[in-house]
Amino acid sequence: MSQMMKNRGWTVTFSGTGINLALGILYTWSIFKGAIRQSIEEGGEGAFNWDLASLNDPYAICCIVFAFIMILAGKCQDRFGPRRTALMGGVLVGLGFIWISQTTNYVAWVLGFGVLAGAGIGFGYAAATPPALKWFPPAKTGLIAGLVVCGFGLASLYIAPLAQYFLGIWGLQKAMLFFGIAFLVVVCGLAMLLVNPPAGYVPEGAGVNVSQTVSSDIAEIEAKPSEMLKTRAFYTIWLIYFIGAGAGLMVIGSLAGMAKKSMGELAFLVVAILAIGNAGGRIIAGILSDKIGRRATLMIMLGVQTILMLVAIPIVGAEKSSAVVLVLVATFIGFNYGTNLSLFPSLTKDSWGLKNFGINYGIVFTAWGVGGFVMGRSSQMLIAHTGAYTSSFLTAAALLIVGVFLALTLKGRKA
């Protein structure tokens, strides 16, 4: 029976990974944005007619809707279970993409990609991690969280070249229709495999005192959202998440445009390769944080990301930047960004427990959306105004330094 339960836990874990592999299409926005920009510049009948400063708006709105819907989605997950919540996500994402496949209207894209797809991503994402964590002991929290969310980061590895291929043979509208139908089927199908453990189930190894293991920085409690919001740790964690996620999303949302100068039509490969770093960061940070603690891992990743932002300035700004160097920098930025998506669920679970994890992490996750919206929108405005990426990278670097100091104030691993 124990082995059967263990296998069931892995089935749930990799079903969640599969759902995130579909929902991670968000990270391929820079390719869609490039196609929209090309349509605007070429003009003609049926072309997009948007203000260039608004090109990131559907992406930025999607980020913030995704984040804030996580509160409702997390509550649904806690109350109605992961299966129904993920089914709702699949339906919303599918409808959003099918809608935008029929129009070039700016408002329709903001509503279809930004609101509908953003809400669907939130429902699917909220349902993927909690059931998986419940099947395993606290010592594997970082590993399991990293495995589930790595699917979201890895998605661009196959979606980017697939999107580029479909754009070439079908155009943007038909490509959106394909993705809408495909992800409706995939997410809803995998949702049927998401299930919580039976009542009274205790994971093997869960009897170890959490406060005495290196896998947890904070002794586990079961806090309600109202109790979580009264702690100073919540606001510190929220601000660090805002900074770490916002800096990464700013780069990811404009990556294909950055690579266009040195790689031309092969710029989509940078987006795909970054996915490897993004996914790898989630798994490795999860494992590392189980060993040395969440705070130490977080400080290392924020510090390295700061350096990478500064290194990226001359590379992206050069007239003839090396494609290899650009790919390497983008991969490492993606790696460090990805660490956020396994560290913060683990921090939330360690700090406030699993009973209300869905809604608690939904509230914490609003930092991801606000960070993506504020820094994504600000970055696009700065690029449109200056014609360069320098100001965006300097702003991100300064904020990341603040994040390192904030991480210092978090409680460290207990003796």
Tell me the whole-structure pTM to 2 decimals: 0.78
Q: In whole angstroms, give the CA distance from residue 299 to residue 294.
A: 9
Task: Give the side-chain half-sphere CA count within 13 A for 195.
Answer: 12
pLDDT score for 209:
43
Confirm whether 414 is domain-assigned.
Answer: no
CB of 388 closer than 8 Å to CB of 401? no
- pLDDT tier at 5 (50, 70, 90 boundaries)? low
Mean pLDDT of the 297-317 span: 87
> Would you list the DSSP string of 231-272?
SHHHHHHHHHHHHHHHHHHHHHTTHHHHHHHHHGGGGHHHHH
pLDDT score for 1:
43
Tokens of 10: 């892995």
Q: Helix, strand, or coil here: 134? A: helix
pLDDT score for 322:
72
CB of 156 closer than 8 Å to CB of 280? no
pLDDT score for 205:
64
For 35-52, the pLDDT digits (tens) are 998 899 888 777 898 888
Confirm whether 76 is domain-assigned.
Answer: yes
Amino acid at 12: V
Residue 415 in this model has a pLDDT that exceeds 80? no
Confirm whether 270 is domain-assigned.
Answer: yes
Confirm whether 248 is domain-assigned.
Answer: yes
Q: In whole angstroms, give the CA distance from residue 121 to residue 118.
A: 5
Confirm whether 233 is domain-assigned.
Answer: yes
Phi, psi dihedral angles at 118 (to 5 degrees): -60, -45
Angle, alpha carbons 49-52-54 (nearest 5°): 90
CB of 271 closer than 8 Å to CB of 256? yes
Confirm whether 363 is domain-assigned.
Answer: yes
- pLDDT tier at 114 (50, 70, 90 boundaries)? very high
- More confident call, 203 vs 165: 165
Longest Cα separation, the chain: 68
For 121-153, the pLDDT digits (tens) are 999 999 999 999 888 888 888 889 889 988 888
Indicate the DSSP class of residue 387: S
> Domain span at residue 329?
2-198+213-408
Torsion of CA 272, 274, 276, 282, to 10 degrees: -140
pLDDT > 70: percent of the chain? 88
- pLDDT tier at 371 (50, 70, 90 boundaries)? confident
Phi, psi dihedral angles at 231 (to 5 degrees): -95, 145
Indicate the DSSP class of residue 414: -
- b/e 305-329 (16+ beta carbons within 10 angstroms → b): bbebbebbbebbeeeebebeebbbb
Highest mean pLDDT among 155-159, 285-289, 351-355 belongs to 285-289
Confirm whether 413 is domain-assigned.
Answer: no
Domain count, the chain: 1
Which of 410, 408, 266, 258 is closest to 334 using CA atoms?
258
Min mean pLDDT across 204-213, 245-254, 261-270, 386-395 is at 204-213
Task: Give the side-chain half-sphere CA count within 13 A for 355.
Answer: 8
Taking only Cα atoms into account, the Rg of the chain, rounded to an integer number of angstroms, comes to 20
Confirm whether 225 is domain-assigned.
Answer: yes
Q: In whole angstroms, give the CA distance from residue 15 to residue 185.
A: 14
**CATH number (domain holding residue 185):** 1.20.1250.20
- pLDDT tier at 319 (50, 70, 90 boundaries)? low
Q: In whole angstroms, give the CA distance from residue 340 to residue 350.
A: 15
